[in-house]
Chains A and B, each alone.
Chain A
Amino acid sequence: MIFRITLKELKENLREGRIRLSLLIVLALLLVSVFISRGYYLSVQQQHAEAKEAARDVWVSQDEKNPHSAAHFGTYAFKPKYPLALIDQGVDKYAGISIYLEAHNRNEAQYMAAADQTALSRFGELTPDFILLFIIPLLIILISYNAFSRENEQGTLRLLKSQGLNMWSLAMGKWWSVFLPVMLLCCLLFGVAAIFLGSLEDFGTLAPAELLIMLLVFLLYYAVFINLSLLVSALSKNSGISLVLLLSIWILSCLAAPKAANNLANGLHPYPTRMAFEAAIAEDKKNGLDGHDPWNQEAIRLEKAVLTEYGVDSLHQLPFNFDGYRMQKSEEHEADIYFKHYAYLREQHERQTDIYQATALFSPFLPARFLSMAIARTDYHTHWDFADAAENYRIQMQAALNNDFAQKTSYGDWSYKADRKLWESIPDFSYDPPELGEILQTNVLNIVILLLWFGLSLGGLFFATSKL
């Protein structure tokens, strides 16, 4: 029975000009956006590869110099783009792409793409995620806003009832008739994306499972919207009201709720300004161990401690260069200061995330949004992960350089110059984004909320149809 209803509804929908037209428009938009996205992805990937190679080249081919001078010269970590960014660009353009790794300082990622764009792009861009997250739910509303209200207006509902038709079967028939074309559309998009991704050289890192799970997230998100649309349509007196109500729901969950969550999060748990953050770190550093300043109080204390530990009475008698040793101790101390301040930043970020998740109870858009960009590795969490990896690399790099200086020279000897061998002995920075399992684990709440939305809206639909 459900099958027959689905077939009839499908035929009817496809006969309607506006639905055919909007399906075609959405399909065209999707294909164009994937195509644009592919070009963008390829060019960014190439830029990244070139920059990474050049940065390594600059590092290993630097002149012979004191290891600590090389530490100040530093190098760069570049954030790679994950292939699934092709489908969801997430927050990528609002996060920096490169981190300068130098002695004494943990730097923030620089050069967000959005800073090189006009205010217009804040409206959104023609990317697959824009179509998938915003436009397709609208398409669903357009197809199904009058599913029940029209039957009601035309009096056919009464006829159907008199035939003894189970209203739940009717609802399910209508449900599938909306879901099937949308699913087809999505599968087509993901199919095209898979072909593009398959043609990439670094496709190896991408498991088909990820594409599939992303597809499932979107389908679940659409199922919620179909439930809601049918629910509202069953409850509304006429189609016009149903449409206006559904649009209000759409705007609330896709535009208003995320923005309101933003203001709430920023009001309650604001980030410090960049200047204030840097000033706070500088203040902490001032009171601590300064590797460049042997007369600094902390440095004198360290000197005494080391002398007693080795049972000698002059720094010259130490088996290593105390300058290098102090430099490394100071580096470790500074890394701790950064760790403390970044821990605060992370805390603020986690509190903000909690607010987004609480708001997700009012908006099915939010969990879908966060899940999809998490799988695409274009979310904020991945950015943190990258920044942390870069910081770890920086700490190891500093340790290698300082230790080389401390071991190979004696106290007071600043004339030592290391060469290419040392530069090459420090491995190139490479970053692997978190694995799928880990991502699903951190996003378990988003999954639960999305499922909750699905369950509740389906229950609502069941309840509403039983009352028809």
Chain B
Amino acid sequence: MFTHQLKYELIGLLRSRWIQLLSVLLLLLCLFAAYNGRQKVDQRLEAIATAQQEVQEGDARALALIDSIADGHAVNVSSWQMPDKPATIGNYYPRVAYMPPKPLALFATGQSDMFAHYVKPSMRGEAMMLDFTEMTNPVQLLFGSFDLAFVFIYLLPLIVIAFTYDLLSREREQGALRLIAAQPLSVLHWLWQKTLVRILVLGTLLSLALLLSLALQGALTADTLPDLLLYWLLSLAYMVFWFALAFLINLLGQSSSQNAVSMLSLWVLFVLLIPAVVAQLGNSLYPVPSRAGLVNELRLVTAEVNEKADDILSNFLRDHLELASEEEQQTGFWERYLASQRVIQEEIRPVLNTYEAQLAQQQQWTQRGKLLSPALLLQDSFNELSGTSNRHYEHFRSEVVRFAEDWRAFFMPLIFKNQAVDKNVMAELPTFTYTETGDRLSGFSNFLVILVYVLLVVAGGFVYFRRQGLESVLA
């Protein structure tokens, strides 16, 4: 029976202009979105490459100068720019600390349009206070990007709705439903199979569109496969969720246009309203303290510390005897600066912690709130798998802060002991390597939660049908 219906429905679907139009539309949307994603990733890679090249060129210049100095030649560089001084290298020859895109970063722009992907922390130790936000037109951030995540989260449900809102009601409105009900088959099964056929058709289209658009952008390689599989499962589960809703709504026995209204209201609820309310509550319940206030607090601390700079330095050297120069105690600018920076950081750390704590609370709230809508689950997983979630940028930030400490720690002994930078030192400069923070587990658990949604909705349909009986559908 099922094969009969499969054949009949398939032919009907393939002949329908409406469906042909929708498939072409889906394909075009995916292609455009993947192209946009690629463009953003390329811009990111290019910026990083340029920055790295600049560093290499700078290093070559510095090495040449160091060579000349070693050979005893006079060099035409002002004193504070002399590359044999550790402070010069530490401040004016910083490394690029960068965050390479994950292989499937083109899938979801996430927070990547807002945060910088590379910074060059110098020895001054401002890394903790560095502004990691990218320079951008804020309108760009307001509207967001037309990426694959947008196509899947927002547009795919609408295509499903256009595909299914009159699944059963049209048959009823055309008078065919009573004929079908008169046949020896269950209307429930009939509708279920009809839905299944559409799931298969749209699922195939979706998979093809996804594969094609990723392949065209060169994102289809062996190492992307596990992530891609998870994307694919998540998208399919999300699509099936909307089919399940259509199944349920069709069983309620309303007219086609009422069905369309109900489906659209659900779309507005799950994709627009629940996310907006959850986000608003997160911000209202756990507001981050005033950044404007932080500015002044930091200034006061800095002024205070600068006043006591001399004391701080001698305390610091007492604590770090290994850094004290064997010759006469040097109290140059950098010694004083670095010592007081450390004190400033220690004083400001608790204040910064309050921001991070509030953000962590918001994050926690989001983790609970995302359970309220499959759209949120999908966004969360997409950002996570693309490496564009807040978590990734926080991770990058903490890696940079750690690297900045290493960088400074490398120069501190050189400065305090008044040691010159030579070729060997240049070869030993610390370099930044970003450690991935992958998390497929949360993607998989989100997938399972979406499946639970599907099961609940389908079960709801079955229970409703059992209770109300055939007549409510036919009427």
- A383 surroundings in chain B (CB, below 8 A): 138
- B139 surroundings in chain A (CB, below 8 A): 91, 262, 352, 356, 380
A22, A100, A117, A274: the one within 8 Å of B362 (CB): A117
**Distance, CA A90 to CA B291, complexed state (A):** 19
Interface status of B78 (Cβ within 8 A of chain A)? yes
How far is the CB of A417 from the nearest CB of chain B, in Å? 15
Give a binary string over A239-279; 1 marks a CB under 8 Å from any B CB, 0 the rest: 11011100110010001101111110111001111111101
How far is the CB of B166 from the nearest CB of chain A, in Å? 6
Of the 9-residue stretches B43-51, B65-73, B204-212, B234-242, which lies at the interface with chain A?
B43-51
**Distance, CA A62 to CA B288, complexed state (A):** 29
The answer to whether B282 and A260 touch across the interface, beta carbons within 8 angstroms, is no
Give a binary string over B133-164; 1 marks a CB under 8 Å from any A CB, 0 the rest: 11111111111111000100011001001100
The answer to whether A58 and B299 touch across the interface, beta carbons within 8 angstroms, is yes
- B282 surroundings in chain A (CB, below 8 A): 117-118, 120-121
Query: Contacts A118-B366, A124-B272, A240-B165 known; A263 to B141 CB distance under 8 Å?
Result: no
Q: A332-364: which residues lie under 8 A (CB-CB) from chain B? A: 349, 352, 356
Query: Contacts A115-B133, A123-B276, A247-B264 known; A262 to B145 CB distance under 8 Å?
Result: yes
The answer to whether A263 and B39 touch across the interface, beta carbons within 8 angstroms, is yes
The answer to whether A244 and B137 touch across the interface, beta carbons within 8 angstroms, is no
How far is the CB of B238 from the nearest CB of chain A, in Å? 15
- A279 surroundings in chain B (CB, below 8 A): 51, 54
Interface status of B371 (Cβ within 8 A of chain A)? no
Interface status of B420 (Cβ within 8 A of chain A)? no
Write the chain B residue with the least CB distance to A49.
B292
- A36 surroundings in chain B (CB, below 8 A): 280, 284
The answer to whether B78 and A295 touch across the interface, beta carbons within 8 angstroms, is yes
Of the 9-residue stretches B253-261, B315-323, B336-344, B424-432, which lies at the interface with chain A?
B253-261
Interface status of B188 (Cβ within 8 A of chain A)? no
Q: B208-228: which residues lie under 8 A (CB-CB) from chain A? A: none
Interface status of A47 (Cβ within 8 A of chain B)? yes
**Distance, CA A124 to CA B132, complexed state (A):** 22
Count: A-B pairs, CB below 8 Å: 243
The answer to whether B137 and A380 touch across the interface, beta carbons within 8 angstroms, is yes
- A62 surroundings in chain B (CB, below 8 A): 303
> From DSSP, what is the main secondary structure of chain A's interface residues?
helix
Interface status of B131 (Cβ within 8 A of chain A)? yes
- B138 surroundings in chain A (CB, below 8 A): 91, 94-95, 112, 380, 383
A47, A142, A261: the one within 8 Å of B293 (CB): A47
Interface status of B363 (Cβ within 8 A of chain A)? yes
**Distance, CA A150 to CA B139, complexed state (A):** 40
The answer to whether B291 and A116 touch across the interface, beta carbons within 8 angstroms, is yes
Query: Contacts A51-B293, A94-B142, A255-B154 known; A121 to B279 CB distance under 8 Å?
Result: yes
Interface status of B124 (Cβ within 8 A of chain A)? no
Q: A63-94: which residues lie under 8 A (CB-CB) from chain B? A: 63, 73, 76, 78, 90-91, 94
The answer to whether A267 and B140 touch across the interface, beta carbons within 8 angstroms, is no
Most chain B C-beta atoms within 10 Å of own C-beta, residue among A50, A55, A263, A276: A263
Of the 9-residue stretches A130-138, A171-179, A211-219, A308-316, which lies at the interface with chain B?
A130-138
- A122 surroundings in chain B (CB, below 8 A): 111, 141, 144
Write the chain A residue with the least CB distance to B54.
A279
Query: Contacts A118-B362, A135-B272, A262-B140 known; A240 to B116 CB distance under 8 Å?
Result: no
- B134 surroundings in chain A (CB, below 8 A): 273-274
- B136 surroundings in chain A (CB, below 8 A): 271
The answer to whether B162 and A97 touch across the interface, beta carbons within 8 angstroms, is no
The answer to whether B50 and A240 touch across the interface, beta carbons within 8 angstroms, is no
The answer to whether A116 and B359 touch across the interface, beta carbons within 8 angstroms, is yes
**Distance, CA A94 to CA B161, complexed state (A):** 34
The answer to whether B110 and A119 touch across the interface, beta carbons within 8 angstroms, is yes
Query: Contacts A239-B257, A240-B259 known; A273 to B135 CB distance under 8 Å?
Result: yes
The answer to whether B295 and A76 touch across the interface, beta carbons within 8 angstroms, is yes
The answer to whether B279 and A123 touch across the interface, beta carbons within 8 angstroms, is yes
Query: Contacts A130-B276, A273-B116, A274-B134 known; A259 to B389 CB distance under 8 Å?
Result: no
Give a binary string over A202-226; 1 marks a CB under 8 Å from any B CB, 0 the rest: 0000000000000000000000000
The answer to whether B158 and A116 touch across the interface, beta carbons within 8 angstroms, is no
- B272 surroundings in chain A (CB, below 8 A): 123-124, 134-135
Interface status of A48 (Cβ within 8 A of chain B)? yes
The answer to whether B141 and A94 touch across the interface, beta carbons within 8 angstroms, is yes
Interface status of B379 (Cβ within 8 A of chain A)? yes
Interface status of A111 (Cβ within 8 A of chain B)? yes
**Distance, CA A118 to CA B155, complexed state (A):** 23
- B363 surroundings in chain A (CB, below 8 A): 118
Interface status of A146 (Cβ within 8 A of chain B)? yes
- B114 surroundings in chain A (CB, below 8 A): 94, 112, 114-115
The answer to whether B276 and A125 touch across the interface, beta carbons within 8 angstroms, is yes
How far is the CB of A272 from the nearest CB of chain B, in Å? 7
A118, A240, A296: the one within 8 Å of B260 (CB): A240
Interface status of A18 (Cβ within 8 A of chain B)? yes
Interface status of B390 (Cβ within 8 A of chain A)? yes
**Distance, CA A100 to CA B155, complexed state (A):** 43
The answer to whether A267 and B39 touch across the interface, beta carbons within 8 angstroms, is yes
The answer to whether B141 and A91 touch across the interface, beta carbons within 8 angstroms, is yes
The answer to whether B296 and A58 touch across the interface, beta carbons within 8 angstroms, is yes
Give a binary string over A17-47; 1 marks a CB under 8 Å from any B CB, 0 the rest: 0100010000001000000100110010001
Interface status of A392 (Cβ within 8 A of chain B)? no
Interface status of A110 (Cβ within 8 A of chain B)? yes
Interface status of A54 (Cβ within 8 A of chain B)? yes
- B150 surroundings in chain A (CB, below 8 A): 255, 259
**Distance, CA A265 to CA B36, complexed state (A):** 11
How far is the CB of A379 from the nearest CB of chain B, in Å? 8
How far is the CB of B370 from the nearest CB of chain A, in Å? 8
Most chain A C-beta atoms within 10 Å of own C-beta, residue among B51, B132, B133: B133
7 A-B pairs in the complex with CB atoms less than 8 angstroms apart: A29-B273, A39-B284, A73-B303, A110-B295, A119-B389, A266-B43, A273-B116
With contacts A240-B256, A251-B154, A258-B143 known, what are 19 further pairs, Cβ within 8 A?
A: A54-B296, A55-B299, A58-B296, A58-B300, A94-B138, A111-B294, A112-B114, A112-B133, A124-B275, A135-B272, A239-B256, A240-B260, A243-B260, A247-B264, A255-B150, A260-B32, A261-B143, A276-B47, A276-B50
Closest 10 CB pairs of A and B: A51-B292, A239-B257, A94-B138, A123-B275, A91-B138, A259-B146, A111-B291, A47-B290, A258-B143, A126-B280
